[in-house]
Amino acid sequence: MKICILSDSHDNLKLLDMAFADANSRGAEAVLHCGDLVAPSTLKVARPYGLPVHVIHGNNTGDLFSLNRMAAKSGGQVHYYGQDAGIALGGKKIFIVHYPHYAEAMATTGEWDIVCCGHDHRTRVEWIDNMRGAKTVLVNPGTVGGIGAPATYIMADLEAMTFEIIEISSEIQGYKLA
């Protein structure tokens, strides 16, 4: 299973839509948004792609009531969890939280295969030793909104456990704002 991991869109509709379009063309079957969506209406760009979106809020929470309502009315496309989430996709246990320090702590528990975060707008894929004597991958996709850093997301292959950093640019072929 391939998934798109992104964070910190900060209401940038164009870049978020470009990420959805590109990830969809690469075979993504779901999207994880690690917080700082801000306005729930930003997720309207997801509709045409039909991909399930798993979203938490970050420190720029926006209108949480509307986000909850949007998820409830999305027909199962948008899943809003609050400040963090533990989900299973593609046979992997995934924890999603906004803050990197919280993500690092959760990765060390060994309870999760993948821990995803955002917040600092720094792209990072790191295998962390956990308390079970194995490793957990910590994934920070940076900022899909391009705030103070290049606009990026991560394309993950859960079967192969590979993680590719994708930089979004105006050169993504065939892009048209939905």
DSSP string computed for 115-148: EE--SS--EEEEEEE-TTSSEEEEEEE-BTT-SS
pLDDT given at position 176: 55
**Tens-place pLDDT, residues 52-109:** 999 999 888 788 888 888 888 889 999 999 999 999 999 999 999 999 999 999 999 9
List C-alpha distances in Å: 128 to 4, 50, 105, 171.
21, 33, 10, 34
pLDDT at 170 exceeding the cut of 70: no
What's the mean pLDDT when you consider all of the chain?
93
**Residue 148 falls within a domain, yes or no?**
yes
Number of domains the chain is built from: 1
What's the CATH number where 54 sits? 3.60.21.10
Please check whether residue 82 lies inside any domain of the structure. Answer: yes
Report if residue 92 sits inside a domain.
Answer: yes
In a domain, 176, yes or no: no
Domain that holds residue 75: 2-167
Residues belonging to the chain: 178
Residue 161 lies in a domain: yes
pLDDT at 171: 54
Q: Is residue 174 part of a domain?
A: no
Classify residue 173: in a domain, yes or no.
no
Tokens of 72: 């409830």
